[in-house]
Amino acid sequence: MNALALVTDAFGSSGGIAQYNRDLVAALAEIPGANRIIVLPRLGDGNGGALPRGVRQLKAQGNRLSYSLTALRAAVTLGPFDFVFCGHLHLAPLAALLAAGLGVPFWLQLHGYEAWDDMKRAERWSAERAKLITSVSRYTRRRFLSLAGVDPSCVGVLPNTVDAGFGPGAKSDVLLDRFCLRGKRVLLTVSRLDPNERRKGHDRVIAALPAIVTAVPDVVYLIAGHGADRTRLEVLAQSLGVANNVVFAGSVAPDELPQLYRLADLFVMPSTQEGFGIVFLEAAASGLRAIGGNADGSIDALADGAIGVAIDPNDSEALVRAIVNGLEGGGPDPSGVGRFRFENFSGHVRDLVNGHLLPAAGAAGTAGVAP
Amino acid sequence: MCGLAGLYAYHYAANPIDLAELRAIRDHMAARGPDGEGEWQSTDGRVGFGHRRLAIIDLSDRAAQPMASADGKTVIVFNGEIYNYRSLRSGLEAKGYVFRTQSDTEVLLQLYASKGAAMVRDLRGMFAFGLWDGDKQGLLLARDPYGIKPLYYADDGWTLRFASQVKALVAGRRAGLDPDPAGWAGFFLFGNVPEPYTIYRDIRAVPAGSTLWIDRRGLHQPERYFSIPQVFAEAERSATKPDAQSRIRAALIDSVRHHLVSDVPVGLFLSSGVDSGALLGLMRDVGHDDVHAITLRYEEFRGRHDDEAPLAAVVARQYGAKHTIRTVTQEEFRADLPKIFTAMDQPTIDGINTWFVAKAAREQGLKAAISGLGGDELVGGYPSFNDIPRWVRWMRWSACVPFAGEAFRRAVSAVNDLVPLAHPKIAGFLKYARTYAGAYLLRRGVFMPWELPDLMDRKFIREGLRRLDPVRHIASILKPEPRTAWGKVAALESSLYLRNQLLRDTDWASMAHSLEVRVPFVDASLLRAVATDFAGLPPAAGKRLLAAAPSAAVPDQIVTRAKTGFSTPIERWLKDDERIRGWQQVPRLRPQNCPWARRWAYQVARP
C-alpha cells in the first residue's frame, strides 16, 4: 500500500492537527502491506525526529503554488499510490484533482471549524467527490453534513488519540515551586491564548472565580499556553478581584506537559470552538477529572459525560457548580479515556483503509456476497 | 406486523447503548404492536433490540421477539410477513435444521444460518428486519423488494439507531434532527419525501430491495438485491408468451393465496374499482369464502358519482362477502385531524383514506386486511402511462434548442405570477417534457422546482434542490432502463409513487390502528410473472384483463365506470377548518384553480 498525504503540518510541528496527522501517518505505516507513505506539509521544519518506517516527509512548502507543484511532482514521480490522504479541507480541491488524475480514491479528514460554517464552492465540490471522509468528532461531522451534500454513510468519525506519555503521577516539586502552588487546589486550562480563538472559555472560568473562591478559598486557576490574549485575561482577573487566584504558566515545553497536568486537581475548558479537544484526553489520561462544554466537539472527548462533565458553556451557574463539585472530588471517573488509546485508533484506520480505499473494498458486502 | 427498534454502538469511542433510549424508541411504536413487547441486549452492552408485536402468525409467546437462535449468537427483530415461510421451513428441515416455534421469524434466523445475507432473495413477502450476527460482530438491516415495510436508521458516527418509523427515532432523543433540505424539497415536489431521504438529515431509509451491513467500521454501502426496472428490462428481452389471460389468472391466484397465510381472519378494503373487486373474486377462488369487506363512504359524497358504497355493495353481493359500509363525516375528520398529524410519520399529502378505512376495519375486529394497492402500477391504470410517452414524443425536438426550455419557463412563470391563468406546470413543459424523468416530474409533481422558494426559506430550499437534483433523482430509478415506454413508466410509478407515497402512507395510517395491510398486487413474484402482459394496453384493456381474472368476473358496471381514484372531500375541509386554512395567506395558493394537493401539502408541512 502506498499513500500520498497532503497535510498542513505533521512531523516537526506543534499543535493538535500536527499531532493528529503524525498519529494518522503512524497508523497508516502500521497497516500490513504498507510500503511507502509520502507526507507533504505546508508548514514545519521536517526535523521531527525519527519517522515511522516507510514514511518520508517532503520539505514544507508554505507557498500555495509551490505546494501544488510539489504535490503534482510527488504524485507523478514518487508513485504509484493507492490513495491520496487530504488532512485539511482547504487542501481538498488539490487532493481531489490529483486523485482524479491518478485514478485513485481520496480520503478527506475534517478537524474543526474549517468545516463548520460557509465552505468555498471548490471545497464543497471536492468534498462531495471524496471516497471516504472522516471527521474528528460527531459534532464536526454534523456541521459538515449541513454544508455539503454528501451521503452521511460515507462520513465516519476518527477521533484524536492520546499519547501514552500522559499518565497519573506525583506532583513535580519544581513546578509546584515555579508556580507557587503548594497548599493550593489547582484548576487547569491548557490552550493557546489567541485573540482569534476567544471561545476557548478562559473568560467564563475567570468570571466564575469569585463564586468559586467563596466555596473553595485555596483555589488557583492555572492557565497554560502562550498568546497575545494573555494581557486581556489578566485585566479581566484584576477587574473581578481574583488576580491572586490566577496564574499564567506561559508556554509549556512538550516534555513538561505531562507533569503540568499532574499539578492540577481539575481540568476545565468550557469552550465552544473545539473540533474535538485533545487536551481533555490528555487531562483524563493524567487521571484528572475534567469539565468541558456540550456545544462542540468537546462532547466527544468527554464521551457524552462518561469521561468528564459536559455543561452548557453559557450557563455560568452550572460551571461554578461543576467546578466546586470537581475540586471536591466529584464527577465522572476519567478512566474511560482508555477507549482513545492508539491501538483503537490505528485499528480503525486499518479497517477504514481496507474497507474503503484498497481495491478489495466492499468485498465484505451482504446480499450479493454473504458477509 | 410490528414495530422494531435497535441500537448498535459500533465505534470504539461510543458508550454502551442506553436501554432507556431503546425503550423510548420502541414504545413510541406501541400502536404498531399492542400484543407484546420485548427487548434484548448483548452481553457487552454494544447492541440492543426492541420490539412491539402485533401477533398474526403463531400467536404463542414462543414466537415473541427479539428472537435468538438456539446458540444465542444470532438475534433478530422483524416486522412483516413471510408468505412462503412454510415452504422455506420444509426446505430447511430437509437439510436438518430443527425448529422450536411455528413462526416465520424463526425461519428467517435459520435461513440466515444457512445462506447468510443472500437469504433475502428467497423471501416472498413484506419485511423489514434487523439481525445481529454475533460471529461476524455485525448488524444486517434488510427491506423487502418493493419497500412495503419501512426501516429507517440514524448514524451519528459512533452509534447506529434503527426503527420502523422516523418519529420513533425522534422519540429516542439522540438522533440528529437537523432538517434535510433535500427531503423537504422532495416533499414539495412529489407530495412525499422520496427515499432514502427523510425530513431529517441524519435519518435515512434503508432503500427498498436492499440490505445494509454495519460493523465496527461503520456503515457499508447499501446493496440492492432487487430492482423493479430490471424485472421489466429482463421481461422485455424474453419472447412474448402466448395466453396472457390464463397466465395472469394463475399468477394472481398464486399471489392472493400466499397473501392469505395467517392465523387470524384477513379482511378486505373494498372500493368501487376493479382492483379490490378482482381481489375479492380471487379470494373466493382460493377458498376464502367468509371475507369481511370494508368500504369507506364520505358523507359529502353520498349520492354522487364518487360515492364508493353503492357499487362496492354490488361487488360484495356478487361474491357473497360480509360487507360493512363505514361513513365518515367532516366532524370525524375534525376530531381525528390532530391524531392524523401525530401518526403521520413524515409529511405526505395522502393517507387520509387509509386512516379511516383502517380505523373501520379495526372497529370490526379485524387485525389484518387485503388492499388493492399497486393494481394501477401493475396493469397501467394511471393516466401517466399514456401522457408521459406522448409528451416525450412531442417534445423530443426541444433537445436541439438549448436554453429554450428555461427561457419559456421564465416567460410563462412571469406572466402567470401576475395573472394566474395557466396551470403552473405549463411553464415547465418545454423544459421537462422531453425526457421520461422530466415528464414524470411534470405529471406527478405537486409544485414545480421554481415555486419552492415561496414555500420555505430560499437558501434552504435551493440547497435542497441542489442536493436532490429531482430530474436526476428520477432518472436514477431507471437503471437498467426498460426498453419500452410502458416499462419505463411502470418502473417509475412503482419505484416512486407506489413506494414513497402509497405504501408508506398505508403503513403509518394502518399501523396507527394496529391493523396489518397486505397488498397482493405488490409482489415480486407476481411482477416477474406478468411484467409485460399488460404492456402497451390502454388502461381500460388492462383493467378488463384484471376483471376477468376471477372465475366469476368482476361485474361490468364496475369495469366500465370512469376511474375516480380514492378521493376525499379534503378540498372542502381545507376551506372550512380554521386549523388548516393557513394556505390562504400564500398568494400562490389562493387562485380558484389551485389544486387542493398544493394547499394540503402546505398545511401538512406546518401541522
Q: What tens digit of pLDDT does each residue of A53-96 get?
A: 999 999 999 999 999 999 999 999 998 999 999 999 999 999 99
- Weakest mean pLDDT among B53-67, B316-330, B574-588: B53-67
Please give the pLDDT value at position B564.
Answer: 60
B18 and chain A: CB distance < 8 Å anywhere? no
B225 and chain A: CB distance < 8 Å anywhere? yes
Residue B409 has pLDDT above 80, yes or no: yes
Please give the pLDDT value at position B404.
Answer: 84
- Provide, rounded to the nearest whole percent, the portion of chain B with pLDDT above 90: 80
The arrangement of secondary structure in A2-161+341-357, i.e. its CATH architecture, is 3-Layer(aba) Sandwich (3.40)
Section A248-257 average pLDDT: 92
A165 and chain B: CB distance < 8 Å anywhere? no
- Weakest mean pLDDT among A150-154, A210-214, A227-231, B471-475: A150-154
Residue B598 has pLDDT above 70, yes or no: yes
Tell me the nearest-neighbour CA distance from B164 into chain A, angstroms. Answer: 19
Binary contact (B217, A347; C-beta < 8 A): no
Q: Could you tell me the pTM of the whole model? A: 0.95
Residue B86 has pLDDT above 50, yes or no: yes
A60 and chain B: CB distance < 8 Å anywhere? no
Residue A134 vs residues A112, A348, B240, B468, B521: alpha-carbon distances, Å: 12, 11, 51, 23, 44
Residue B476 has pLDDT above 70, yes or no: yes
Section B91-100 average pLDDT: 96
Cis ω for the linkage preceding A93 (within 30 of 0): no
* Domain boundaries, given as residue ranges, for chain A: 2-161+341-357, 173-338
CA-wise closest residue to B21 among B33, B9, B36: B9
Chain pair A-B, CB pairs under 8 angstroms? 103
**A181 contacts A154 by C-beta, under 8 angstroms:** no
Binary contact (B204, A344; C-beta < 8 A): no
Report which of residues B470 and B423 the model is more confident about.
Answer: B470
Q: What is the pLDDT of residues B517-546, one digit of tens each?
A: 999 999 999 999 998 888 878 778 889 999
Residue B463: pLDDT band (50, 70, 90) is very high
Distance of alpha carbon B429 from alpha carbon B414, whole angstroms: 15
Outline where DSSP puts E strands in B83-190: 125-133, 138-143, 152-155, 160-163
Please give the pLDDT value at position A371.
Answer: 34
Tell me the nearest-neighbour CA distance from A317 into chain B, angstroms. Answer: 25
A367: closest chain B residue by CA: B118
Residue A45 has pLDDT above 90, yes or no: no
A303 contacts on B by Cβ (under 8 Å): 13, 15
Residue B474 has pLDDT above 90, yes or no: yes
Residue A188: pLDDT band (50, 70, 90) is very high
B92 and chain A: CB distance < 8 Å anywhere? no
Binary contact (B156, A155; C-beta < 8 A): no
Please give the pLDDT value at position A69.
Answer: 97
Residue A363 has pLDDT above 50, yes or no: no
Binary contact (A366, B156; C-beta < 8 A): no
Residue B112 has pLDDT above 80, yes or no: yes
Q: What is the pLDDT of residues B545-564, one digit of tens each?
A: 999 999 999 999 999 876 66
A304 contacts on B by Cβ (under 8 Å): 15
Average per-residue pLDDT for chain B: 93
Section A123-147 average pLDDT: 95
A340 contacts on B by Cβ (under 8 Å): 13
B11: nearest CB among A153, A157, A365: A157
B212: closest chain A residue by CA: A366
Please give the pLDDT value at position A365.
Answer: 42
B217: closest chain A residue by CA: A351
Please give the pLDDT value at position A27.
Answer: 97
CA dihedral A125, A128, A133, A136 (to 10 degrees): 60
A307: closest chain B residue by CA: B15
Tell me the nearest-neighbour CA distance from B157 into chain A, angstroms. Answer: 5
In order of their start, the domains of chain B are 2-226 (3.60.20.10), 229-381+495-567 (3.40.50.620), 385-487 (no CATH)
Section B423-432 average pLDDT: 86
B45 and chain A: CB distance < 8 Å anywhere? no
Residue A264: pLDDT band (50, 70, 90) is very high
**A42 contacts A10 by C-beta, under 8 angstroms:** no
Give B160's strand partners. B8, B155
Other C-beta atoms closer than 10 Å to the C-beta of B54 total 21
B217 and chain A: CB distance < 8 Å anywhere? yes
A340: closest chain B residue by CA: B13
* Secondary element (H or E) of residue A103: none
Kindly give the pairing relationship between strand B203-205 and strand B36-41. unpaired
Q: What is the CATH number of domain A173-338?
A: 3.40.50.2000
Residue B510: pLDDT band (50, 70, 90) is very high
B213: nearest CB among A145, A347, A364: A364
What per-residue string of b and e applies to A5-25 under the rule 16 or more CB within 10 Å gives b?
bbbbbbbbbeebbbbbbbbbb
Please give the pLDDT value at position B114.
Answer: 96
Residue B583 vs residues B335, B346, B509: alpha-carbon distances, Å: 21, 19, 24
B217: nearest CB among A135, A351, A365: A351
A362: closest chain B residue by CA: B220
Binary contact (B118, A300; C-beta < 8 A): no
* Range of A108-122, B6-20, B447-461 with top mean pLDDT: B6-20
